[in-house]
Structure 1
Amino acid sequence: MKDFPAAYQSTAGSALAVDKAFYRRIADAIAGRQLVDQFVIPIRTGRAWKVPAGHVFRIVAVEGPQVGDLNLWNLQNPRERLWASRTRQLQAAHVTTFDRLWSTLPYLRPLVTITSDSLADYGVDEYGGRVHDLLGTRCDPYVNRMLTGEDFDFCCHSNLVRAVAPHGLTELDVHDVLNVFQCTGLNSEDKYFMRASPVRKGDHIEFFAEIDLLCALSTCPGGDLSVPLWGPEARDPLDVCRPLGIEVYALDRDLLKDWKSPDIAAYGGGHGLGLKAPPWAR
């Protein structure tokens, strides 16, 4: 099958042109970091945490393979949040080092840039599977009830709902996710598949916060996805569920002397109506 060029192309100086040398320096400057927060998210739960702009946070497989569902919001304005579908178009359906996760309209700017990924060399397996996907979304109790006829309150959607409630957010704020450590692809019928996570104990993915963030992560109740969740062979995957660790680091200020948070999208927001941008858009 012939390859076809991507629809969205990076040009010199554009927002898609990442300064790889800058982010590589951040990834390499381990000795100058200061650990400011660290915790473990138990199995089948979720937790939210704050990351100031110019810090990095790392998700770590502390005990072995486990999938996590990640949400991101602007800490000061949760209307601005991760836009999974546009990130797929601007970056890729599966992301790794130097890829960015973009925010929703009318803001449209990078929320984070990936600085380190211990699975960057996984590539494409024999089934077409890749790691860290934006193809699928979180498991949820509504689909679970539809497919099984049973209620289950610890799907990733519900875990995220509980995680953000103390921060004043609701179910309506939970959005499409980055599936961290998840191996997925599209089969010959163009249908989404999930494979067992290839993660090993100690593997990580790390993000540089481009703006002040509220983050939330669910440790998926499907565990490492080595057990079918639906269909005739489905069973409870409790024995393949593991916790995930979170680490937040402040960086040496010298690394950031020429960096600033990205501006929101430059488009004025008139939409042909002859109006200035509404206050909520700015």
Structure 2
Amino acid sequence: MAKVPAAYRATQGSLLDVDRDFYARLTALEARKLVDQRVVPIREGLAWEVPAGHVLRLSTLDGPQVGDLNLWHRHNPRERFWASRTRQLQRAHVSTFDRLWSTLPYLRPMATIIDDTLAGYGVNGSGMDPDGGRVHDLLGTRCDPYVNKLLTGEDFDHHCHSNLVRAVAPFGLTEFDVHDVLNVFQCTGLNDDDQYFMKACPAREGDYIELFAEVDLLCALSCCPGGDLSVDLWGPDARDPLETCHPIGVEVFRLAPALLTGWKSPGYAPYRGGHGMRPPAIDWTAEKQRRFNRR
């Protein structure tokens, strides 16, 4: 079968045209300093800040575990990660040198993936297993208590959506700010009926993914209550996957200034067309008379 080209393709010099040499240099361990370290407990969420120009590492500390990641601009939470546009501009499953894009009207890279120990997952390092599964998923979204209630009739307060709601509350955000996620370490795909499937997480103890913060970030991560997803969460074979749950490590690194020479935080998308709308013409003579009469 002929390979169909991607709909969204980079032109030279666009923000999709990533300087791989620059980002590869940022992985040098001797040129970074650990400035923040946390652990997201099982079935809980956590939020933290990552300044622009820093590196965020998420790691599976004790074994395979799926995490649901949200990103906001730290000083303007209306600008947040846009999973669907990232899926179009990059891939449905992201890895090294892919970028995580923000919502309209901002539309800029919020972070760039610079390292991923699961990049060689799958058959012959292709990134895809025999069932079509790939890792670091943008196809699906977070589990939530509303869907769970529909499927099981039960209330459960530790779904990823709820974990993220609790995590961001100290930063003044609410449930309305929680959005579609990057499912880190999660293996998913589409079956022959074009239905979404999830497989057991292939990560092992010590695997990690690293993101370079292109802007000041507020990050939130839920340690999924489904653990490594090796157990059915719904359906006739569903059971509690508690024994498959593991914590996720969070590390933030400051880079040596020399590594960032020439880099600057990307600006907003430069469109200023006004969507075809123009302000009404003003009769300034009449307007000045109106203002005079108000005196």
- Shorter-normalised TM-score: what interval? over 0.9
Query: How do 1:123-138 residues align onto structure 2 when only pairs under 5 Å count?
Result: 123-138=127-142
How far has the Cα of 1:269 moved from its partner? 5.0
Please say if residues 106 and 269 of structure 1, whose CA atoms lie closer than 8 Å, have aligned partners that are also in contact.
Answer: no
Aligned to 1:48: 47
Q: Is it true that 1:222 corresponds to 2:231 in the alignment? A: no
Aligned to 1:280: none
How far has the Cα of 1:162 moved from its partner? 0.2
Aligned to 1:197: 201
Query: What amino acid maps onto 1:254 in structure 2?
Result: A
Provide the rounded CA distance (Å) in 1 between the counterparts of 2:222 and 2:75.
Answer: 22
Aligned to 1:252: 256
Provide the rounded CA distance (Å) in 1 between the counterparts of 2:274 and 2:14.
Answer: 23
RMSD: 1.0
Query: What amino acid maps onto 2:31 in structure 1?
Result: G
Gaps of 5+ in 2: 122-126, 281-295
TM superposition outliers: structure 1 runs of 4+ over 4 Å: none
Query: What amino acid maps onto 1:77 in structure 2?
Result: N
Q: Is it true that 1:108 corresponds to 2:112 in the alignment? A: no
Larger Cα-atom Rg: 2
String of CA shifts for 1:135-169, please: whole Å, max 9, x gaps.
00000000000000000000000000000000000
Aligned to 1:8: 8
Q: Is it true that 1:91 corresponds to 2:95 in the alignment? A: no
Provide the rounded CA distance (Å) in 2 between the counterparts of 1:275 and 1:103.
Answer: 28
SS in 2 for 1:245: strand
Provide the rounded CA distance (Å) in 1 between the counterparts of 2:59 and 2:118.
Answer: 12
Provide the rounded CA distance (Å) in 2 between the counterparts of 1:269 and 1:89.
Answer: 23
Q: Is it true that 1:63 corresponds to 2:62 in the alignment? A: yes
How far has the Cα of 1:257 moved from its partner? 1.6
Provide the rounded CA distance (Å) in 2 between the counterparts of 1:20 and 1:148.
Answer: 46
String of CA shifts for 1:216-244, please: whole Å, max 9, x gaps.
00000000000000000000000100100
SS in 1 for 2:151: helix
Please say if residues 85 and 134 of structure 1, whose CA atoms lie closer than 8 Å, have aligned partners that are also in contact.
Answer: yes
SS in 1 for 2:275: coil
Normalised by the size of structure 2, how large is the TM-score? 0.92
Aligned to 1:39: 38
Q: Which moved more, 1:265-274 or 1:246-255?
A: 265-274
How far has the Cα of 1:32 moved from its partner? 1.7
Provide the rounded CA distance (Å) in 2 between the counterparts of 1:266 and 1:250.
Answer: 29
Query: How do 1:151-230 residues align onto structure 2 when only pairs under 5 Å count?
Result: 151-230=155-234
String of CA shifts for 1:80-120, please: whole Å, max 9, x gaps.
00000000000000000000000000000000000100000
SS in 2 for 1:80: strand
Please say if residues 144 and 151 of structure 1, whose CA atoms lie closer than 8 Å, have aligned partners that are also in contact.
Answer: yes
Q: Is it true that 1:267 corresponds to 2:266 in the alignment? A: no
Gaps of 5+ in 1: 277-282
How far has the Cα of 1:3 moved from its partner? 2.0
Please say if residues 112 and 209 of structure 1, whose CA atoms lie closer than 8 Å, have aligned partners that are also in contact.
Answer: yes
Aligned to 2:290: none
How far has the Cα of 1:274 moved from its partner? 1.3
SS in 1 for 2:140: coil
How far has the Cα of 1:14 moved from its partner? 1.0
Percent of matched pairs sharing the same residue: 70
Indicate which of 247, 270, 277 corresponds to 1:243: 247
Normalised by the size of structure 1, how large is the TM-score? 0.96
Please say if residues 70 and 177 of structure 1, whose CA atoms lie closer than 8 Å, have aligned partners that are also in contact.
Answer: yes
Provide the rounded CA distance (Å) in 1 between the counterparts of 2:223 and 2:154.
Answer: 21
